[in-house]
Amino acid sequence: MSSVGGTSLQDALAALQAVAVRAGVSAETARSEGLSLAAALAESAPGAPVDWSAATPGATTQDFFDAAVRGRRWRGAPTAVLNELVAQASPEKIPYAEALAEVASAACALGEPTMRVIGNASVAAAAQLQAAGARSLTVGAVSPQSSIHAPGASRTGGANASAGGVASDQAAGAAQAVAQTVAQPAAAEAVPERTVEELLAELDELTGLEKVKREVHRQVAVLRVEKLRSEAGLKSPTITRHLVFVGNPGTGKTTVARLVSGIYKALGLLSKGQLVEVDRSELVAGYLGQTATKTAEVVASAAGGVLFIDEAYSLTSGDQGADQYGREAVDTLVKEMEDRRDDLVVIVAGYPEPMEKFIAANPGLASRFRTTIGFDDYTDEELTEILTGLAEAADYELTPEALEHFRVILSSTPRDRSFGNGRFARNVLEAAIGRHAWRLRDVTAPSTDQLRRILAEDLTDEELHPPGTTDRPEVAAELGAADAPAAPADGPADVTDDGAVPPEQSVPPEQGEQA
């Protein structure tokens, strides 16, 4: 296996496990998380499953793609373990985030890494470090012996092989140039738990989401008064704390859920305040009877915090809710919500219409989910602000011309149900980081400004039209394909509206947050 920045995936996983053990987290849990993150970042690289499997004896190509599905949500958001360490204000949160950044860096050497993988890894590493309060690290350095698969370069024999080898060497040089911007991480130190006011201030600083912010502030006011009345011995109506988030993909639902978990903890309503994010595949088992146990174990892991179920309607989306596996999961969830009502909050999320049907499918759900918060799509200016924030978090700077070029991309992109909102902005940045590295491939000693600045030409390979001209759906197709994985040899998998493969399929193919 190739090494990245001197660290192979095996080494990076070992370091991650060591930090996890110090933090009181199972080494196996950390290893599984690291493997999923690496697979999600490298899933588009030819040959990545083989190199990934070398770190997991006995693993198959199918295991690689299953892990990639689990890890895709962490390409723009903190992992589950890191989120819990942050919620606990653990002194190991920064070392763990740094170890995850090393895993992201090691993922760049799986298979025949492309410029796109470098972009994915840079954004993912920045998301982990930012969540922990550490300074950004740039990933993507490669050893002289490793090769990066350049765009369009051939891996076959003959003359094409020679051309591909030259291109690969050039790409490796570009990746090494990127690595020169690595910053020293902030020293780990104990951080006091944040107050309600601090968390609400962070919520208010998010781009857009004005209606969401008002509703969360209202919820906090109601729950705070209810708690004070209870402490004073006054009668108080039972107020359900469970929430329904509705909106299109990439509108900040997971980001807000993470803040809600911290706010509820600061209010004294939850004991831990961690966020556990799952979907159908993590609740439903392969056989009847096993699903109840699997769901109960997931809920137990969220006790003291928030259980966030994305696309929750997939549990009841069969013909008239006839999916008995999903029904078993829902029945178990309702029971667990009742048994743990004093120290568990459940947030279910998805598209508006399917969520209405999901809540109506079970009387137990309808009585517990009484508050629905709608997440609007972002405007062009809000998406530009999100892109700028993501770039700054990864220690890049977009020139004014690049920002204007991004606005042109937005004006050329159809806003149908599959549009990724903040996720779209993240995809643009990931691709731009790869093109930026490729642009610097022949620069022997790039300046700091060259290493940081994203130019307009880095944003897309397409010829763009100014606002008001013919739509260019192929631009959106190119950028939206960023979440699509490299399929196994037996063919591509079906993809849902948000770019993910349904978890029920045997062949699987991802927020930044806000993206």
Q: What is the pLDDT of residues 425-460, one digit of tens each?
A: 998 998 999 899 888 888 889 899 999 999 999 987
Distance in angstroms (rounded) separating the CA atoms of residues 441 and 478: 23
The DSSP annotation for 184-208 comes to PPPPP---PPPPHHHHHHHHHHSSS
Confidence of residue 491 (pLDDT cuts 50, 70, 90): very low
Report the phi/psi class of residue 133: left, alpha or beta, with left for phi > 0 and alpha for psi in -120 to 50: left
- Mean pLDDT across the chain: 78
The span from the CA of 119 to the CA of 487, in Å, is: 20
Q: Span 380-458: which CATH code?
A: 1.10.8.60
The one-letter code for the residue type at 182 is: V
Tokens of 86: 């942050």
At 192, the pLDDT band (50, 70, 90 cuts) reads low
3-state per-residue secondary structure call for 111-158:
CCCCHHHHHHHHHHHHHHHHHHCCCCCCCCCCCCCCCCCCCCCCCCCH
Which two three-digit tokens encode residue 173? 């040089």
Rounded to an integer, what distance in angstroms lies between the CA atom of residue 105 and that of residue 117? 10
Cβ neighbours around 56 below 10 Å, total: 18
Q: Which two tokens stand for residue 417?
A: 């149900």
Domain 196-374: which CATH number of 3.40.50.360, 3.30.420.40, 2.60.40.10, 3.40.50.300: 3.40.50.300
Of the listed ranges 25-34, 77-86, 151-160, 376-385, the one predicted with least confidence: 151-160
- 397: confidence class by pLDDT, cuts 50, 70, 90: very high
Q: How do residues 75-109 score in pLDDT, each as one tens digit?
A: 888 898 998 888 888 889 999 999 999 999 888 88
What is the average per-residue pLDDT within 392-414?
91
Say which range, 125-139, 195-209, 391-405, has the weakest mean pLDDT: 125-139
What is the tens place of the pLDDT at every residue in 233-246?
Answer: 887 777 788 999 99
Percent of the chain with pLDDT over 90: 34
Task: Find where tokens 């360490």 sit.
Answer: 85
For residue 24, the 8-state DSSP code is T
pLDDT tens-digit map of 27-70: 999 999 999 999 989 888 888 888 898 888 888 888 898 888 88
* pTM summary value: 0.71
User: Alpha-carbon distance 22 to 45, whole Å?
Assistant: 33
H or E segment to which residue 477 belongs: helix 473-480
pLDDT tens string 108-120 = 888 886 777 888 8
| C-beta atoms surrounding 370 within 10 Å | 13
CA distance 109 to 102: 12
Instruction: Give the number of other Cβ atoms within 10 Å of residue 268's Cβ.
Output: 12
Q: State the Cα–Cα distance between residues 127 and 125, nearest whole angstrom.
A: 5
pLDDT for position 2: 42
Domain extents for the chain? 9-132, 196-374, 380-458
Torsion-angle region of 250 (φ positive above 0: left; ψ -120 to 50: alpha; else: beta): left
Task: Report the C-alpha gap between 423 and 409 in whole angstroms.
Answer: 14
CA distance 122 to 139: 5
Q: What's the residue count for the chain?
A: 515
Distance CA 256, CA 213 (A): 9
- Among candidate residues 11, 68, 66, the one with its CA nearest the CA of residue 45: 68
Q: Give residue 72's pLDDT.
A: 86
